Amino acid sequence: MLNTKSKTSCDDLTPGVYLIGAGPGASDLITVRGAKLLAKADIVFHDALINEEMLSWCPQAKLVSVGKRCGKYSNSQLFINQQLINASSKFKIIVRLKGGDPLIFGRATEEIEALRQANIYCEIVPGITTALAASAELKQAPTSRNISRSLKITTLPTRLNYIDHETKIFYMGRDQLSTIAIDLINQGLPGSTPVCLMESVSNQDQRSFGTTLEELSRYKDVSIFTDEKPLIVMVGEVYQSVYKTLTPLIQDVEPNNHILSA
């Protein structure tokens, strides 16, 4: 299980590695927490595309460029992982500064897994992904009630040597949990597909539940979730290693292989 704890204030930080999203480019579009952590960092491993103005947030830190740019020399991911692990024995607060959001095409999974195996504390600080920043510049929302109710963020599917298991994330799904699951199963997703339910994300009262589509398809009691707290439903194979570490949504479920159509 990943060595994480509840987020503390930036005045009382747990020694470890902080993966921070730098945002789309402008130095003032980093989050407040991200900027505060940079100001506390002992060493910062940053991508090549990071705006140099952003590095002025951490004049006290040692700076190490580990960026990847097409056509130019770049560090291998394994080498970057090892640098983070080695730094943890020499520095208290280590920042890995990534463009956009670290979890959107940022190869953060490899770094998180390497830190997990080394039993090093890790925290992820979200950033504004470029797709949303571009929408803001256009002053045009990518979703619209009467035109588009979904948003797909992807990269060009070149040189794929594996099956691409698309991740699906649903907003405001509290009252439609079983319907969401049944629809996805009817579309061909296995009933064993992992599901993570996150309530009041990033707040002190955040709650996280793990289940599968098969279990969720039969779940009717939504009373454990309140109207006042937003619920997000995250579905996909990428959650295979994490959903079982969360609070089980359903306890002592009897096997049931019959899924009713919505």
Catalytic residues: 47, 68, 172
Strand, helix or coil for residue 225? coil
The whole-angstrom separation of Cα 125 and Cα 108 is 12
Residues found in the chain:
262
Structure tokens at 59: 């004049």
The whole-angstrom separation of Cα 261 and Cα 185 is 9
Q: Please name the residues in contact with 98: beta carbons below 8 A apart, sequence gap of 6 or more.
A: 19, 20, 21, 22, 47, 106, 108, 127
User: Residue 35's closest CA among 97, 100, 92, 85?
Assistant: 97
Tell me whether strands 122-125 and 43-46 are parallel, antiparallel or unpaired: unpaired
The whole-angstrom separation of Cα 34 and Cα 128 is 11
| CB neighbour class for 211 (10 Å; exposed up to 12, middle 13-18, buried from 19) | buried
Strand partners, 47: none
Strand partners, 234: 169, 196
